[in-house]
Amino acid sequence: MSLADLRTHYTAAINPEEIGDEKVTIAGWVHEVRDLGGICFVVVRDRTGRGQVTLVKKKIDKELFDTARKLVRESVVSVTGTAKPEGKAPNGYEIIPDEIKLLNESQSPLPMDTTGKVEAELDTRLDSRFIDLRREQTTAVFNIRHEVLRAVRDFLTDSGFLETSSPKVVATATEGGTSLFPITYFDREAFLNQSPQLFKQILMSGGLDRVFEIGPIFRAEEHDTRRHLNEATSIDIEASFCDHFDVMVILEDMVAYVYEQVIENASASLEALGVELQVPKTPFMRLTYDDAIEVVNSKGGDMLAWGDDLGTAAEHTIGEHVFKETGESHYFIIDWPTEIKPFYAMPYEDNPLLSKGFDMMHRTMELSSGAQRIHIPELLVSRIESQGLDPEGFEFYLKAFRYGMPPHAGWGIGCERLVMTMLGVDNIRDVVLFPRDRRRLSP
């Protein structure tokens, strides 16, 4: 059963005028069987769409007609025949079959509806993801996610970045704290890495100059929210001889490029989801942390003091404010208090209470955090200590700063948050094939 026997065309690739009398073979799932007595329609679905197979009882072999009538929905078939134009059929053609191969029969009833007529709960869909993916809207999300990652790779490669990979099993917490999953590594304790941060920086000392990584990050966050996963996909960059403003430009340009590419290459998927995308306008608005606090406090409600982190409610207030001012959803918050940014964020030389850390926000949530990093080893040690961490645990990292570390900057942006804000999806689990959250460890 080679591909040559089972499929010559995807359903969306058939144009009867071009093909003429040449035989075509499509392969996929039985989406629908409509048996009207004298005529039977079988709709076959593949990743690209649908193709209609039409059998007229009087004109076709009896055995073939009976095979078609008895097909169970969601069974896998391969159909060979001649394509004819048919305006009322999906993709504008119908196939008059010579042969229908039943490759795998589906059991019935199905664990969930695939026609989109009954809206299943997210949990039901995730429990039977293989069936959920047979829905057009679900496939559309993952087509777009593919397009997002492809665009990211192209953009960063064209901007001189090397794709790298860092270990996910590590001995030290990136930022300390409790949000780590401990694991057993032979007879030692180890952790699943919460971020490639420390490794990206070591690569700057190695002279790789500009690197990116697309990989999993693990966060043992206890909370069960619509925008947190315990295993997420992070798009990370690090660039030498750059400050925070340089990498902010790379970030906003990348986001705009990703939107453009999705519009250009995934229009059918956007349409299936009913999403009309606008490319965000660059440069994104830059708000200082002080401005952000003022926006929140001027609205009344819970007052923020200088040095407080911005909670979800504050982020929404600021996002709405920016949207009203600019009509745009994306913006930066810069000049954060050093104390609430990670130890590796560079303080401003003339005002060390402020750091060169930034967040890139969407109206609805944080998308990315970044900074110019500290490249001076003594300053780094003192920042590690003042965050209550032990520099000894960071020796493998600190070593890379003592023998020629260039100034550098970088950021990490959550792939899922980028996709969900783009599509207006409100639960992050919808944009991950097999999400890991507080309750879900399978499938």
Q: Which positions touch ligand ATP (CB under 6 A)?
A: 219, 221, 228-229, 232, 234, 366-369, 412-414, 416-417
- What SS3 state is found at 244? helix
Q: Which of 9, 50, 125, 219 is catalytic?
A: 219
Known active-site residue 145: no
DSSP class of residue 441? -
Question: CB of 382: closest distance to ligand ATP in angstroms?
Answer: 22
Omega within 30 of 0 (cis) for the link into 90: no
User: Under the criterion CB under 5 A, does residue 197 sit at the interface with Mg ion?
Assistant: no
Q: Which of 227, 373, 408, 429 is catalytic?
A: 227
- CA proximity to 155, closest of 104, 194, 210, 100: 210
Q: Which of 45, 125, 228, 429 is catalytic?
A: 228
CB 408 within 8 A of CB 372: yes
User: Under the criterion CB under 5 A, does residue 234 sit at the interface with Mg ion?
Assistant: no
Question: CB of 399: closest distance to Mg ion in angstroms?
Answer: 26
Q: Which of 260, 363, 366, 438 is catalytic?
A: 366
Known active-site residue 221: yes
CB 111 within 8 A of CB 131: yes
How far apart CA 204 and CA 153 sit, in angstroms, is 19
Question: CB of 141: closest distance to Mg ion in angstroms?
Answer: 24
Instruction: Return the one option of ligand ATP, Mg ion, none that residue 414 interacts with (CB less than 5 to 8 A, by type).
Output: ligand ATP
- CA proximity to 218, closest of 437, 431, 425, 371: 437
Compute, in degrees rounded to 10, the torsion defined by CA atoms 21, 27, 30, 33.
10
Q: What is the DSSP string of 393-433?
A: GGHHHHGGGSS----EEEEEEEHHHHHHHHHT-S-GGGGSS
Contact partners, residue 305, CB within 8 Å, separation at least 6? none
CB 294 within 8 A of CB 287: no
When CB distances to ligand ATP are compared, the closest residue is 414
Nearer to ligand ATP, 244 or 417 (CB): 417
Nearer to ligand ATP, 91 or 364 (CB): 364
Q: Which of 244, 408, 417, 429 is catalytic?
A: 417
Nearer to ligand ATP, 73 or 438 (CB): 438
Known active-site residue 286: no
Options 78, 172, 369, 372; binder of Mg ion; rule CB under 5 A: 369
Nearer to Mg ion, 134 or 362 (CB): 362
The pair of structure tokens assigned to 54 is 């039409």
Nearer to Mg ion, 55 or 367 (CB): 367
Vertex 170: Cα angle to 168 and 174 (nearest 5): 95
Known active-site residue 227: yes
Nearer to ligand ATP, 221 or 320 (CB): 221
Residue labelled with tokens 């819970």: 302
Question: CB of 185: closest distance to ligand ATP in angstroms?
Answer: 23
Known active-site residue 366: yes
Q: How many CA atoms lie within 13 A of 391 on its CB side?
A: 14
Question: CB of 145: closest distance to ligand ATP in angstroms?
Answer: 14
Residues designated catalytic: 219, 221, 227-228, 366, 369, 417
Given the rule CB under 5 A, which residues bind Mg ion? 369
